[in-house]
Structure 1
């Protein structure tokens, strides 16, 4: 009996199982036939609305900022060289690398003994030359007196000859006396010629001694300069660099001791492309006097200012573009923030662009167009004039697009004719909800199966407030759109 009961129970369970399987097969078959049937009730397709960020185009004057990198150069650098050789006997405490010196400050002294001896010899030579000059002047005076005496003697001899000739004409004198008077006059004339030659020689001697005095004075000046050159002075104010000199060192003429760098007169050499350089030219083709902001590397938010000063005279082998020099303005601490050789970033003001607006580069399509918001929040593709590309932004000419909203971030889902739900980041963070819109959002939150009860409670409490964050509304409406 037990075997029969268990057999009947098994048959009953088998029949129930087969019945359920048959019912499932019929249900699945009906569902497939209904889905494949052409006369099934259809669902009205709905247009997909995509949310997109939009910006309002407001025309204004935009001043582009060109960003580049440059190298700091010293406008005034002075090499310190010795004019004469000698032994270093004194070095100033300030004549060390990194220390500041003032213009005219004595930095190094050489042994002055050789220069002092040369100066004494030059002074003695000048004294000797001047004595010789005085002697030559006195000799000229004596030669003139001697010539005057000789000329007086000639006059006496001529008078004597005239008397002898008069006596001979009256028969009182002799021809021999006349001849003797003539010979005496001739000798007196010869003496006058000799005295004139002596006077000319004395005058020439004066000129020679004057030249000797001039040479002696030049030698004295050189000796004084040589003594002064034993002291090396700073030719300009600045900081000392490259010093390797110590007391007792023997240096030669024209040997370099170091250099002085004027850190208050600095330039920044900036290499620009030809296109960038073209944006810095005025209507007359000359370089504009544009303001430049310089940011030293590693100085945090510290900025310095300068002005466009000049353009390099040549491009340079292996280089392209143009080399522009920026003259730095004097400012407190500039000598510590910038040093020759530093690399800095510079921002140069370009010419102001009227009727322009700045947009993210993501708003511009590859074909140079924007997606503008039209009727019923549908997009229209419009062409724009791109004035500048500046980093992640573009500067466009607004023109007839003034006041219109354009998409700030294009995507593959956006295009001409697409309807969007505009999101305006520039709008207020909290917005007011109409009662109908508030009810729809609250119903969406209550019907959500993916939110926890605590999250639902928090969202419902936030939606009951007078104003609701725009970000929350956008997130909920995005959930509505699927």
Structure 2
């Protein structure tokens, strides 16, 4: 009996377990069937993205080419010793970085030996002058002797004629005539000798004059060398690369320093070939465009205006682009020095009817996203004219159109968006022109709105500075200005 009761209990528990499993399976099947047969719910609400929106403002823009280069001086003089010797005098201004004026003494080399050479040359001149005077006197004596010999010859010619006359009369003999002829011949020889002596004396004058000229040239050269022992600054400038000490021995033509003209500075920078073509006119000549030179001195940047003057003459091996030289405005370049690394902003000719957009609004293919009348994104291809750092200048964008300022992967054609804070106003509101006073007041207010997000502030300033802004935006800003005032 006990065995039967236990068997019935076990069977009852087994049946209960089977029932529970069957009930669970039935409930699971019922739920799945209900989910499958349930009518589909309504479509999920469309997601609207909040984005930063700007408006296209067309107008004239002046592109700027950014480049880097260095400052050079086109008037730099190497200070070299013209003569060898010991440095006996150094100017207090002959130091690196010192300013000197034209005519200031820089250094002096011991002049004693060179002064002695000048004295020797001057003594040689006096000797040559004495020789020349002696030669001139000798010419006078030779001329007198020649004249006397010619007179003697004339007398003997007369005597010969008398003897011949007497011979014809029978008074003189033939021997006397021959004696007179021999005397005349001897005197003729004396005349020839005196004439030769005169010619020699005259040639001696020419030689003495040439010797005097040589001595004068030697003396002038000695004086020049003596003067070169004292080296003076040929122009106002700054001294650099000084490599001499007082008492040091220097060789002829040894470099002792350099003199730089701070008023002859120019900026040398390199641009790409594409940028260089934009600096040329229709005839291929370089345009004299304005540039701005910037030298970063920690928290105090230095700027100086300039003008493009010329392009490099040759292209070095392995180099790309072109070298360009810009002349600097001396009144603003007082602190610039040769060797300074500077940034250069070149202002190109102005472009008309272009829009300045953030670089984040344009992809590599030149596409921007406009916001249409249904607040949906619509792609538009524009012509990218210039890339200016974080901005681009584009052509072909419609005036006043709203555009997406920053693209994102989830934002594409057809996506619905709304403005970040509504400051851009309704898509159909017109643009108003801002006079300078109104523009200034709006800029002051926006720049002073510390609670405004930086991106929004930059966007508002961009619209205000363009001179044309949405009417609703201007009204809201002026209303806030009134409340804050």
Alignment TM class, shorter chain as reference: 0.7 to 0.9
Distance in 2 (CA, whole Å) between partners of 1:61 and 1:107 is: 55
Q: 1:326-341 residue pairs with structure 2 within 5 A?
A: 326-331=326-331, 334-335=333-334, 337-341=335-339
- Deviation (angstroms), 1:34: 5.0
Distance in 2 (alpha carbons) for counterparts of 1:98 and 1:369: 55
Contact persistence 2:356–2:393 (CA under 8 A): yes
Q: 1:318 aligns to what?
A: 318
CA distance in 1, matches of 2:238, 2:364: 54
Superposed CA offset, 1:337-365 (max 9, x none): 32222211111112222221211122223
Matching of residue 297 in structure 1 with residue 293 in structure 2: no
Q: In 2 relative to 1, CA 270–58 (structure 1 residues): closer, same or farther, beyond 3 Å?
A: same
For the pair 1:277 / 2:276, whether they are aligned, the reply is yes
Q: Once the 2 structures are TM-superposed, how far is the Cα of residue 206 of structure 1 from its aligned partner?
A: 1.0
Indicate the residue corresponding to 1:306 in structure 2. Answer: 306
Q: Is the 8 Å Cα contact of residues 58 and 398 (structure 1) preserved in structure 2?
A: no
CA distance in 2, matches of 1:425, 1:276: 40
How many angstroms apart in 2 are the aligned matches of 1:41 and 1:107?
100
The match for 1:415 among 400, 412, 417 is 412
Q: After the TM superposition, which residues 137-216 of structure 1 pair with which residues of structure 2 at under 5 Å, given as runs?
A: 137-216=136-215
Residue of structure 1 equivalent to 2:396: 398
Partners of 1:283 and 1:156 lie apart in 2 by 97
Q: For structure 1, which runs of at least 5 residues remain unmatched after alignment?
A: 1-23, 433-466, 471-482
Map of 2:436 onto structure 1: none
What does residue 90 of structure 1 align with?
89
- Per-residue displacement from partner, 1:29-58 (whole Å, max 9, x unpaired)? 9876554325x2742554444343333323
Partner of 1:112 in structure 2?
Answer: 111
Work out whether residues 78 and 235 of structure 1, in 8 Å CA contact, stay in contact via their aligned partners in 2.
Answer: no
Structure 2: gaps spanning 5 or more residues: 1-23, 430-474, 479-485
Q: Deviations over 1:303-356 (max 9, x none)?
A: 112222222222223322212222222025x34x32222211111112222221
Matches within 5 A, 1:208-287: 208-287=207-286
Question: Residue 223 of structure 1: CA displacement?
Answer: 1.6
User: For residues 108 and 49 of structure 1, what CA distance do their matches in structure 2 show?
Assistant: 81
Does the C-alpha gap of structure 1 residues 417 and 314 become closer, same or farther in structure 2, counting only changes over 3 Å? same
Residue equivalent to 2:341: 343
- Could you tell me whether the CA contact under 8 Å between 1:53 and 1:425 is conserved in 2? no
Cα deviation, 1:141-163, whole Å, max 9, x if unaligned, reads 22222222222222222222222
What CA distance in whole angstroms lies between the structure 1 residues aligned with 2:36 and 2:410?
A: 31
1:403-461 superposed Cα distances (whole Å, 9 cap, x missing partner) = 333322223343334443356987489xx9xxxxxxxxxxxxxxxxxxxxxxxxxxxxx
Q: Using the TM superposition, name which of 134-143 and 216-225 deviates more.
A: 134-143
Alignment CA distance shift 1:317-1:199 (3 Å): same
Conserved? CA contact 1:60–1:356, under 8 Å: yes
Tell me how far apart the structure 2 counterparts of residues 254 and 428 of structure 1 sit (CA, whole Å): 77
Equivalent pair of 1:55/1:424 in contact (CA under 8 Å) = no
Retained in 1: the 8 A contact 2:54–2:405?
Answer: yes
The verdict on how the C-alpha distance between 1:378 and 1:172 changes in structure 2, with shifts beyond 3 A counting, is same
- How far, CA to CA, are the matches of 1:195 and 1:426 in structure 2? 122
Task: Quote the residue 2:368 is aligned against.
Answer: 370
Shift, 1:98, TM fit: 2.1
Match of 1:303, SS state, is: strand
SS at match of 2:343: strand
Count of equivalent residues? 407
| Separation (CA, whole Å) in 2 of partners of 1:88 and 1:410 | 72
Question: Cα–Cα, structure 1 residues 142 and 43, in superposed 2: closer, same or farther, change >3 Å?
Answer: same
Q: Distance in 1 between matches of 2:315 and 2:131?
A: 64
Aligned 8 A contact 1:82 1:256 in 2:
yes
Residue 437 of structure 1 is matched in structure 2 by none
Are 1:55 and 1:426, in contact at CA under 8 Å, matched by a contact in 2?
no
User: Pairwise CA RMSD of aligned residues?
Assistant: 3.0
Following superposition, the deviation at residue 118 of structure 1 comes to: 1.1
Could you tell me how far apart the structure 1 residues matched to 2:139 and 2:203 are?
9
Q: Distance in 2 between matches of 1:173 and 1:426?
A: 152
| CA distance in structure 2 between the aligned counterparts of 1:200 and 1:273, rounded to whole angstroms | 79
Label 1:97 to 1:366 Cα distance change in 2 as closer, same or farther (>3 A).
Answer: closer
Distance 1:330 1:424, change over 3 A: farther
Q: Does residue 125 of the first structure (1) align with residue 114 of the second (2)?
A: no
